Structure 1
Amino acid sequence: MDLRFNLALAEGYKSNSQIARVLTEGWVKQNSYCPSCGEKPLNDYENNRPVADFHCLKCSEEFELKSKAGKFSNTITDGAYNSMIQRITSETNPNFFFLTYDKNLTVNNFLIIPKQFFTPDIIIKRKPLSETAKRAGWIGCNIDISKVSELGKIFLINNSKIINPENVQTAFNKTIFLRNKSQESKGWLLDILNCIESIPKTEFNLADIYSFEDKLKQKHPNNNFIKDKIRQQLQYLRDKGIIEFNGRGTYKKVI
């Protein structure tokens, strides 16, 4: 995997945004692979396709690319808020690649967030454009990946270090089970995952996770049996190998 952009791809382009798009999309096509099955190369769609930028011919996974110059951050600027919400709650939402590159036009971070981790909670509505703007009233959004479980942030390249593709595939497929869940069920599981990750210890007990009861009640006001729901989700995550049950109400994070 060559971390440098192929500058020849940008010949003839003058717009900085077009140059950035051509270089980053060209890099993904020439260097990346499918995080689900390992197939290489990924295939690109025609420009301006509304759903995705790339797809895998072997397993049919789809991917959209977001890229930026500079340091990796938790906030990624995206397009129209309503369109984004419609996409991530549909059955055709893609996985998202996030790529950052430095001033030497070299990739320093490249990660994927599988589509099952996209929920309305991580999409932040921006203020409408002013009345004097060309698109007055238009509302954009940001993607706040700080709200995404660590299981959903899978690096292919991390601080210029290339991650073993086998490890990437294992991590990508570990949470595929979430795709078969309803929005409500998936929301509960992701909420519990985030609670678990907020606990600083590798091993934790029911009292640790019960401490999030009030927070979970705020997110799920119609549920009057929060502790029962917590135990149910812990059992499911245990069965899926995300956590281990050590007996007597104690659990261990599986790294």
Structure 2
Amino acid sequence: MDLNFKKELANGYSSNSQIARVLSESWVKLNSYCPSCGEKPLNDFENNRPVADFYCKKCSEEFELKSKNGKFSTTITDGAYDTMIQRITSDTNPNFFFLTYSKELVVDNFLIIPKQFFTPDIIIKRKPLSETARRAGWTGCNIDLSKVSELGKIFLVEKTKIINPEIVQTAFNKTTFLRNKSLDSKGWILDILNCIEKIPNRDFTLKDIYNFEKDLKVKYPNNNFIKDKIRQQLQLLRDREIIEFNGRGTYKKID
């Protein structure tokens, strides 16, 4: 994997946004691989396709790329809010690649967030454009990556370090079971995952998770069995080998 952009590919383009798009998309096509099955190269869709930028011929996973010059940020600016919500709640939503690069046109970070981690909770609605704007009333959105579980942030390149593809594939496929869950069920699992990740110690207890009961009650006000739901999700995460049950209400996070 060559972390340098091929600058000559931008010859003939004058717009900074066009140059960034051409260089970043070309880099992905030349250097990336499918995080699901390892197939290389990825194939690009026709220009201006509304759903995704790349796809894998072998396993049919689809990917959209978002790139940025500068440091990696947990807030990503995106397009129309309603369109984004419709996409991520559909059956055809893509996985998302996020790429950051330096002013020297070298890739710093390249990560994928699998589509199962995209829920309405992480999409933040921006203020509508003013009445004097050309697109008055248009409402955009931001993607808040700070709300995404760490299991959903899978780096292929982290701070210019290339991650072993086998590690990437294992991490990617570890949570694909979420795709078969309803939006409500997936939401519960991801919420409990986030609770677990807020606990600083690797070992934790059922009581530690129960401490989040009030927060979960705010999100699920009509559920009168929060503790039952917590235990249910812990059992599922244990069965999926995301956490380990050590008996007597004690658990361990699995790396």
What interval of TM-score do these two structures reach, taking the shorter chain for normalisation?
A: over 0.9
Tell me what 1:74 maps to: 74
Tell me what 1:88 maps to: 88
C-alpha distance in 2 between matches for 1:116 and 1:97: 13
- Structure 1 stretches of 4+ moved >6 Å: none
Task: Mark the runs of 5 or more structure 1 residues left unpaired by the alignment.
Answer: none
SS at match of 2:105: coil
- CA deviation after TM superposition for structure 1 residue 132, in Å: 1.6
Residues 209-248 of structure 1: matches in 2 within 5 Å? Answer: 209-248=209-248
C-alpha distance in 2 between matches for 1:178 and 1:156: 21
1:155-204 CA distance string (max 9 Å, x none): 00000000000000000000000000000000000000000000001010
Residues 93-132 of structure 1: matches in 2 within 5 Å? Answer: 93-132=93-132
Counterpart amino acid of 2:217? K
Counterpart amino acid of 2:127? K
Residues 1-255 of structure 1: matches in 2 within 5 Å? Answer: 1-255=1-255
- CA deviation after TM superposition for structure 1 residue 214, in Å: 0.4
SS at match of 1:166: helix
SS at match of 1:47: coil
1:204-235 CA distance string (max 9 Å, x none): 00110000000001111111000011000000
Identity fraction in percent = 81
- CA deviation after TM superposition for structure 1 residue 130, in Å: 1.3
- CA deviation after TM superposition for structure 1 residue 129, in Å: 0.9
Counterpart amino acid of 2:70? G
C-alpha distance in 2 between matches for 1:19 and 1:124: 28
- CA deviation after TM superposition for structure 1 residue 44, in Å: 0.2
Structure 1 range deviating more: 108-117 or 5-14: 5-14
1:123-165 CA distance string (max 9 Å, x none): 0000111112111111000000000000000000000000000
Task: Mark the runs of 5 or more structure 2 residues left unpaired by the alignment.
Answer: none
C-alpha distance in 1 between matches for 2:120 and 2:232: 23
SS at match of 1:172: helix
1:10-56 CA distance string (max 9 Å, x none): 11111111010000000000000000000000000011101100000
C-alpha distance in 2 between matches for 1:111 and 1:245: 30
1:62-97 CA distance string (max 9 Å, x none): 000000100001000000000000000000000000
TM-score, normalization by structure 1: 0.99
SS at match of 2:21: helix
C-alpha distance in 2 between matches for 1:124 and 1:174: 27
- CA deviation after TM superposition for structure 1 residue 7, in Å: 1.0
C-alpha distance in 2 between matches for 1:134 and 1:66: 25
Counterpart amino acid of 2:154? I
C-alpha distance in 1 between matches for 2:101 and 2:30: 16
SS at match of 1:188: helix
SS at match of 1:109: strand
